Amino acid sequence: MSRVSLTQYLVEQQREHGHIPGELRLLIEVVARTCKRIAISVNKGALGDVLGSAGTANVQGEVQKKLDVIANELLLEANEWGGNLAAMASEEMDTIHLVPNRYPQGEYLLLYDPLDGSSNIDVNVSIGTIFSVLKKRGNQQGVSEADFLQPGNTQVAAGYCVYGPQTMLVLTVGDGVAMFTLDREMGSWSLTAENVRIPEDTKEFAINMSNMRHWAPPVRRYIDECLAGSTGVRKKDFNMRWVASMVADVHRILTRGGIFMYPWDQREPDKPGKLRLMYEANPMAFLVEQAGGAATNGRQRILDLQPGKLHERVSVILGSKNEVERVTGYHAQG
Ligand code: AHM
Ligand code: MG
């Protein structure tokens, strides 16, 4: 059976649906190709000397793993010469990375978390790459961090690659969500799911329960009610999953539904959350909404938040629509 390749899918989006210009298609293809290279490094593990710490810290003070650094470098190198980008930003870089003068500059901005779920690298659990594409506004020369500070509803494409039992690329260009599986013999991405839909209801939640005593009352109420099961107000039993790799948790939700939360908690009251808005929450929120789900910070739609800085953090509640609306409603009640 011949399957649709990523290139075919994108050309169709470009030609028949008019969703994406050629430059954006090429840019997505470069990101997808780089994910294949990252997958090779991830798969080598100890054989490739890629496990363990790099001995450095990123701008948020987190210790970088060797694979965080390798994946970041691979994405930088692959994307700087293509001519479609103006600049890049990453979880692993303090400031934006301009396309060097020797290459032509395009009008797109690429943001990424090169290797999400870093705590899972050394223990052989699924990890991933998350990316978001914005378009530079205005036609002034040069590019600065301010050009990146656009709300998520302006994203022109977003996706992730999950390095799990299968390596999969999950993508939206604003026309639903498509999933591609890496065919290792062919070295190509094959379309394996299209028009992905998240069921509106679910009986499965994902949250790091060890933080329970620090949560705000609305989150605590929601989880307490789930835990009460069929004898409580929800009148049904819930299941729990927590991979500690957002890509893997979101992938499960896109596949069979569920709700994912990494909420604000009172340990550091001034910190809005753990996850980063621009290269973690926004691309995931775009995918989830495109699949019929919802994503809020408890009070507002994530995609409508105006970022104040590149590495801004945010509280995240996303997944099956009715559950996200319930938790968001609990926040509105006080
Ligand atoms: P990272 O970008 O440093 O890997 O951190 C983000 C990850 C998410 O993938 C995941 O949902 C979360 O951190 C897990 O956090 P915790 O270890 O607190 O459960
Ligand atoms: Mg991350």
pLDDT at 41: 93
The residue among 158, 193, 228 that closes a domain is 193
pLDDT tens string 61-89 = 777 888 888 999 999 999 999 899 999 99
Residues 94 and 214 occupy one common structural domain: no
Q: Are 105 and 38 members of one domain? A: yes
Q: Looking at the structure, do residues 183 and 223 belong to the same domain, yes or no?
A: no
Is 184 inside a domain boundary?
A: yes
Same domain for 229 and 121:
no
Which residue positions in the chain have pLDDT lower than 70?
A: 1
The ligand 1 atom nearest the CA atom of 210: 19
Whether residue 140 is found in the same domain as residue 283: no
Q: Looking up tokens 């009986």, which residue turns up?
A: 203
Which ligand 1 atom minimizes the distance to the CA of 208?
A: 19
Do 183 and 265 lie in one domain? The reply is no
Whether residue 198 is contained in a domain is answered as no
**d(CA 275, ligand 2 centre) in Å:** 7
**216 with 70, same domain?**
no
Task: Give the count of domains, the chain.
Answer: 2
Ligand positioned closest to the Cα atom of 127: 1
Q: Do 226 and 186 share a structural domain?
A: no
Answer yes or no: do 91 and 232 share one domain: no
pLDDT given for residue 142 in this prediction: 87
Is the CB–ligand 1 distance for residue 62 below 6 Å?
yes
Say whether both 223 and 182 belong to one domain: no
Q: What is the span of the domain harbouring residue 291?
A: 204-333
Cβ of 68 closer than 6 Å to ligand 1, yes or no, is no
**Same domain, yes or no, for 161 and 77?**
yes
Domain boundary among 193, 219, 253: 193
Q: Is 199 contained in some domain?
A: no
CATH of the domain at 88: 3.30.540.10
Instruction: From 319, 304, 169, 201, select the one nearest 254 (Cα to Cα).
Output: 319
Q: How far is the CA of 4 from the centre of ligand 2 (A)?
A: 30
Task: Decide: 92 in ligand 1 pocket, CB within 6 A.
Answer: no
